Structure 1
Amino acid sequence: MSDLILIHTRYQFLEQLRVPIALVASAFFPAAAMLAFVVPFTGADPMSATSATAGMMLFGAMSAALIGLSISVAHDREQPWDPYLRTLPAGPLPRFAGRILTTMAGMLLSVVPVLLISAFLTAAAISPLRLALGIGALLVGSVPFMLMGLFIGYAVSPKAAIAVSQVAYFPIAALGGLLVPLEVMPGFVQSLAPFVPSRGAIELMWAAVAGRTPSPVSLAAFAVWIILAAAAATWAYRRDEGRRFS
C-alpha cells in the first residue's frame, strides 16, 4: 500500500508542476500581503512580526488546501483516467493519501516566500525548534481545509469549484483574523471568530511559534470542523461514485 501511495503522490505532484499556476497563486497572495501589511506596520516588532508571519503562512496554506485541492479534484473527475482508477482493486486510499501529501508539499512551497520576506524584511525572531513546531502546526491546521477542498471538488463541476472555493476562502480567512487583527474588527466578527476553523488553526500556530495559550473554544470548534468536513467529503465522494458508476 505504501508503494501505491508514493506512486500516486509522485504522479499528482508532477501533474501539479506541469501546470504550476496554483502553486504560484498560493505563494503570491500571502507574500503580497506580507509586503503590503506586515512589513510596513508590524515588521519592526519581533513578537508582532512573528505572529503575523504565522498568519500569512496559514493564509497561503489555506489557498493550496482549499482552492488548489478542490479545483484539481473537480478537474480530475472530468478526465477519462479518473473512472479507470476507480475500477482498480486498490480502493480510494492511495489516491486520497497521494492528494493530501501532494497538497502538503504545495503548502510547504507556498510559505517559502513568506518566510524569506519575514527573515530579511522584518524583525521576526524564532528558534529552529519553534519553526519546526510551527510547520507541524501548519500541517495540522490545514486538515479541515483539505477536507473542505475534497468536498467541493467532489460535489461540484470544475468551473463551480473555482468560484465556490474562492467565495469560501476569503471570508474564512478574514473571520479568523488572518488578514486584520480581531481587535480592530467589528464586535460581531470578534464573536464569530472562535467558531471558524481558521481561528483554531492560527491559534495552534501561535502556540507553536510564540508559546501563546490557545482558546479552548477555538480548539473545540476546530475539531468539530474536522469532523463535519470529513463527513461532508465522504458524502460527496460516495454521491459522485453513486451517480457515475451505479
Structure 2
Amino acid sequence: MTGLILAHTRHQMLEQLRVPIGLIASAFFPSVSMLVFAVPFTGDDAAAATRATASMMLIGAMSAALIGLSVTIAQDRELPWNPYVRTLPAGPLPRFAGRILTTLAIMFLAVIPVLVIAALLTEATITVPRLLLGLVALAVGAVPFMLMGLFLGFLLPSKGAVAVSQIAFFPLAIVGGLMLPLQFMPEFVQTLSLFFPARGSGELMWWAVTGAAPHPAALAALAVWTAASAVLAVWAYRRDEGRRFS
C-alpha cells in the first residue's frame, strides 16, 4: 500500500510541475499580500512582522488546500481515465493519500517566497525550532481546508469548484484575521472570527511562531469545523461514487 501511495504522489506531483499554474497561484497571492500589507505596516516591528508572516503562510496553505485541491479533484472527475482508476481493487486510499501529500508539498513550496520576503524586507525573527513547529502547525491548520476542498471537488463540476472555492476563501481569510490584524476590525467581527476555521488555524500558527497563547474558543471551533468537513467530504465522495457506479 505504501508503494501505491508513493506512486500516486509521484504521478500527481509530476502533473503539478508540468502545468505549474496551481503552484504559482498558491505562491503569488500570499507573496503579494505580504508585500502590500505586511512589509509597509509591520516591517519595522519584529513581533508584528513575525505574526504577519505566519498569517501569510497560512493564506498560501489555504489557497493550495481549498482552491487547488477542490479544482484538481473536480477536473479529475471529468477525465475519462478517472472512472477506470476508481474501479481498480486498490480502493480510494492510495489516490486520496497521494493527493493529500501532493497538496502538502505544494503548500510548503508556496510559503517559501513569503519566508524570503520576510527575511529580506522585514525585521521578523524566528528560531529554527519555532520555524519547524510553525510548519507543523501549518500542516495541522490546513486540514479542515483540505477536507473542504475534497467536499467541493466531489460535489461540483470544475467550473463550479473554481467559483465556490474562491468565493469561500476570501471571507474565511478576512474574518479569520489573516488579511488584517484583528485589532483593526470592529468588535463584533473579532467575536465572530472565533467561530471561523481560519481564526483557529491562525491561533495555532501564531502560537507556534511567537509563543502567544491560543484562544480556546477558536481551537474548539477549529475542531468542530474539521469534524464537520470530514463528514461532508465522506458524504460527497459516497454520493459521487453512487451516481457514477451504481
Give TM-score, length-normalised by structure 2. Answer: 0.99
Name the counterpart of 1:69. Answer: 69
Name the counterpart of 2:205. Answer: 205
Name the counterpart of 2:148. Answer: 148
Name the counterpart of 1:11. Answer: 11
| In structure 1, C-alpha distance between the alignment counterparts of 2:182 and 2:125, rounded to whole Å | 23
Deviation at 1:186, TM superposition (A): 1.8
Deviation at 1:86, TM superposition (A): 0.8
Higher mean Cα deviation, 59-68 or 184-193? 184-193
| In structure 2, C-alpha distance between the alignment counterparts of 1:24 and 1:86, rounded to whole Å | 29
Name the counterpart of 1:130. Answer: 130
Q: Deviations over 1:81-106 (max 9, x none)?
A: 11111111111111100000000000
| In structure 2, C-alpha distance between the alignment counterparts of 1:174 and 1:182, rounded to whole Å | 9
Name the counterpart of 2:219. Answer: 219
Tell whether 2:110 aligns with 1:110.
yes
Give TM-score, length-normalised by structure 1. Answer: 0.99
| In structure 1, C-alpha distance between the alignment counterparts of 2:239 and 2:36, rounded to whole Å | 43
| In structure 2, C-alpha distance between the alignment counterparts of 1:27 and 1:17, rounded to whole Å | 14
Name the counterpart of 1:43. Answer: 43
Name the counterpart of 2:186. Answer: 186
Q: Which amino acid aligns with 2:4?
A: L
Report SS of the residue matched to 1:17.
helix
Aligned residues: 246
| In structure 2, C-alpha distance between the alignment counterparts of 1:10 and 1:107, rounded to whole Å | 16
Q: Deviations over 1:165-194 (max 9, x none)?
A: 000000000010000111111222112101
Q: Which amino acid aligns with 2:103?
A: T
Q: Deviations over 1:210-243 (max 9, x none)?
A: 1110011000100011100000000000000100
| In structure 2, C-alpha distance between the alignment counterparts of 1:188 and 1:167, rounded to whole Å | 22
Deviation at 1:80, TM superposition (A): 1.2
Report SS of the residue matched to 2:213.
coil
Q: Deviations over 1:187-208 (max 9, x none)?
A: 2211210110000001101111
Q: Which runs of 5+ in 2 are unaligned?
A: none
Q: Which runs of 5+ in 1 are unaligned?
A: none
| In structure 2, C-alpha distance between the alignment counterparts of 1:220 and 1:133, rounded to whole Å | 20
| In structure 2, C-alpha distance between the alignment counterparts of 1:191 and 1:219, rounded to whole Å | 14
Report SS of the residue matched to 1:195.
coil
Q: Which amino acid aligns with 1:148?
A: M
Higher mean Cα deviation, 70-79 or 178-187? 178-187
| In structure 2, C-alpha distance between the alignment counterparts of 1:209 and 1:162, rounded to whole Å | 32
| In structure 2, C-alpha distance between the alignment counterparts of 1:40 and 1:219, rounded to whole Å | 30
| In structure 1, C-alpha distance between the alignment counterparts of 2:115 and 2:184, rounded to whole Å | 25
Q: Deviations over 1:23-73 (max 9, x none)?
A: 101101110011111111101011000000000000011000000000000
Identity of aligned residues (%): 66
Name the counterpart of 1:169. Answer: 169
Moved over 6 A (4+): none
Report SS of the residue matched to 2:194.
helix
Tell whether 2:78 aligns with 1:86.
no
